Amino acid sequence: MTWLPAEAASVQDELIAEFLGASAYLFTVSMYNRTMPSVFKAWLDQVIVVGRTISRTGAGPAAGRPAVLISARGGGYGFGTPNHGKDFLVPTLESILGDPAYLSLDVTTVTAELTKAPVVPTLAHLIPAHEASLANTHEQARLQAEKISQQLTA
């Protein structure tokens, strides 16, 4: 399918309208090759438009709206792990979503680690850590849902 410029602009307009029409945001972005999936990056590239969703002179139209970023990764990227410092997903998204020069959302991040532990035999010894991470992620997601629900109904 070949898109004409008007068709591409129409799709972008729809994506921006959907983004600006939301009162709160839930982004579920798994780590792929230490960063975000290409389809999510493509979505960001369509939604981040100076003068429409971001402003170079002040807060953009979505500034301050609550956003929860939920991410999962197969291994561990926290302090003290062999992969520490190699997470190029969460810091990048926190910057793009929360930075006042970009979307300026009120971002809370919830991350599940070691999701490959139950399926990769060499990681089996990390299953208890995976289960703890997953339980914590579910609880944090639940708490964020309650918090945002209360904010939106107040």
For the stretch 4-63, pLDDT in tens is 688 888 999 999 999 999 999 999 999 998 899 999 999 999 999 999 999 888 889 999
Q: DSSP 3-state assignment of 115?
A: coil
Enter the tokens of residue 31: 């780590």
Q: Is the dihedral of CA 101, 112, 71, 139 positive or negative?
A: negative
**102 neighbors 140 (Cβ within 8 angstroms):** no
Q: Residues 78, 81, 87, 91: what is their CA dihedral angle, to the nearest 10 degrees?
A: 30
Element (H, E) at 110: strand 106-112
- Fold (topology level) of 21-153: Rossmann fold (3.40.50)
* pLDDT value of position 44: 96
**Tokens for 39?**
């389809």
Per-residue pLDDT reduced to its tens digit, 58-80: 889 999 999 999 999 999 998 88
Instruction: For 8, list phi and psi in degrees, rounded to 5.
Output: -65, -40
Structural tokens at position 116: 């490959």
CA distance 22 to 42: 19
Collect all residues with Cβ–Cβ distance below 8 Å to 15 and sequence separation of at least 6.
43, 46, 47
